[in-house]
Structure 1
Amino acid sequence: MSRTARLFQLMQALRSGPSPRTSEQLAQDLGVSARTIHRDIDALRGLGAVIDGEAGFGFTLIEDATLPPLGFTDDELEALVLGLREVQVIGDPALSDAASAALRKLQGRLPQRQSHRLSHAVLAATRFNRPPAPTIDVAVLRQATWDERAIEFSYTDAKGDATQRRVNPLSIVYMDRSNVLLGWCHLRQDFRVFRLDRIQDMSVTDQSFRPNRVPMLREVLAQIRAARDAQERDEDA
């Protein structure tokens, strides 16, 4: 294998695998020594790649605009188009606009054949019955979730009862009939699901729950899976 081909494969391995990846894992994937991986990491950095980490801790690729664009297979391109078009349909205004911009950027950077394929993709996404529109600025909610800052809002449940909530936002989930927030509710002292169309007067507080969002999200998703599995077992019994 030529060095150029090996560097390309190393970039692909850093892009596609879980991060961080140790030199031993990368060496096994590429069939070379760990010492060769260290030299190739230095070479990629010299070419403009932003690669975080060091020997003993693993490496994480941070994409750099100076690197050539990642090529896509035709099926990968179809998947991207379908996903972005779905976001155009179901996302909040800021997210929908971002999906449109991403499609335009893809079209401008793809080879001519694939650019034509993107323009005339055979896949599309539509919703005849869209979930109720959110009553808050979802872009602000997304940022609070990334920043791991608690939010406060008034919430009206299915019975019409209104309560004031302080919540650690963990994830926004786009479902068939509603878009919801998964979060830790300070009032209930438990994980709760909140429909975005029932949230009013949301504000972002100065209270940080960093770095707990990821482990808390894992926990609530595990609870949801366990409840779903239990329901399926009851239905099969």
Structure 2
Amino acid sequence: MSRRADRLFQIVQILRSRKQVTAEQLAERLAVSTRTIYRDITDLSLSGVPVVGEAGQGYHLLPGYHLPPLMLTAPEVEAMVAAIRLVQTWSGAAMAEAASRAEEKLLNVLTPERRAVAERSRILSPDFNKYPQVKAHFDAIHAAIGALEVLKLCYQDAQGKASVRHVHPLGLTFWGEVWVVVAWCEARNDYRSFRLDRCQEVVPTGRHFTEVAGRSLDDFVQRQRARGIAAGQ
């Protein structure tokens, strides 16, 4: 795929992912001039891509337009393979299985050239089963996040002190070899982060919570940014 053809494809992908985007935003994203973007938009329109432009508002695609979803560049293919392999190694059994199915689908729909890129990738993620308890707890926590279900955590901190917490699981974050669940702790009435490898037991309670302002993952991230503190440390 030529550089220009790749850029045209990227423009369509960006338009598909946003309701509205300006020529200036496209130019900045693709590191070209706005004049180049104007020419590209014109060429896309002439080729049948339903790009609609509004003065002062930017561009958008008419609903219903689709491109083959896996016209990926070689670096994008290898990035996908690397991500899949990391998930297979470090997540829970259910997500690892889903990643394996996704890898099969990816290989089946790639062009022969791109499939060869995927199959010869040297990015590896060997599984030494260093944290078996993480695999045991990951799926339960991930499911509870999606279901907004309160969890009972039997937890042991870095000093070996044990405690039992009822938490509202908000998100999972990966720090190298360590998975951390970000949660709202009922006992502390505040955010807390818990390493999965220190969870002795994870028990769904059947109770549910509502993610509200002041107790949401977005608010937690904003607080951490303001403090300049990395989650889980």
Q: Normalising by the residue count of structure 2, what TM-score does the alignment of the two structures yield?
A: 0.69
Residues 220 and 132 of structure 1: CA distance in aligned 2, closer, same or farther (over 3 Å): farther
Match of 2:48 in 1: none
Bigger Cα displacement from structure 2, 172-181 vs 97-106: 172-181
Aligned to 1:34: 54
Moved over 4 A (4+): 5-10, 35-38
Q: Residue in 2 aligned with 1:107?
A: 107
- State the partner residue of 1:200: 201
Query: CA-to-partner distance for each residue in 1:114-166, whole Å, 9 max, x for gaps?
Result: 11221222322236583453274422311221333332232232333332211
What letter is aligned with 2:113?
Answer: R
Answer whether contact 1:136 1:201 (CA < 8 A) is retained. no
Task: Give the superposition deviation at 1:91.
Answer: 1.5
- Residue 98 in 1 paired to residue 98 in 2? yes
In the TM superposition, what is the alpha-carbon distance from 1:176 to its structure 2 partner? 3.3
Q: Residues 208 and 117 (structure 1 numbering): CA distance in 2 closer, same or farther, change over 3 Å? A: same
Ranges in structure 1 where 5+ consecutive residues have no aligned partner: 50-66, 232-237
Output the CA distance in 2 between the equivalents of 1:113 and 1:79: 16
Q: Which of 206, 216, 229 is residue 227 of structure 1 equivalent to?
A: 229
Aligned residues: 197
After superposition, the Cα gap between the structure-2 partners of 1:226 and 1:8, relative to the gap in structure 1 and judged at 3 Å, is closer
- Please tell me whether the aligned partners of residues 136 and 196 of structure 1 are also in contact (alpha carbons under 8 angstroms): no
Percent sequence identity over aligned pairs: 27
Output the CA distance in 2 between the equivalents of 1:143 and 1:73: 33
**Per-residue CA distance 1:83-112 (angstroms, 9 max, x = gap):** 211111111111211221111111000001
How large is the RMSD of aligned CA atoms in angstroms?
3.2
Q: Pick closer, same or farther for the CA change 1:9–1:84 going to 2, 3 Å.
A: closer
SS at match of 2:182: strand
Asked whether the 8 Å contact 2:88–2:96 carries over to 1, the reply is yes
Task: Point out where structure 2 has 5 or more consecutive residues left out of the alignment.
Answer: 1-5, 27-36, 42-52
User: Does the C-alpha gap of structure 1 residues 37 and 174 become closer, same or farther in structure 2, counting only changes over 3 Å?
Assistant: closer
One-letter amino acid matched to 1:219: Q
Q: Would you say the 8 A contact 1:167–1:184 is kept in 2?
A: yes
The correspondence of residues 59-98 of structure 1 with structure 2, limited to 5 A, is 68-98=68-98
Q: 1-side partners of 2:15 and 2:149: how far apart? A: 31
TM-superposition CA deviations, 1:29-81 (whole Å, max 9, x none):
4546227946x414xx2x5x5xxxxxxxxxxxxxxxxx522311111111111
Aligned-pair distance for 1:211?
4.6
Q: 1:133 to 1:176 in 2, by over 3 A?
A: farther
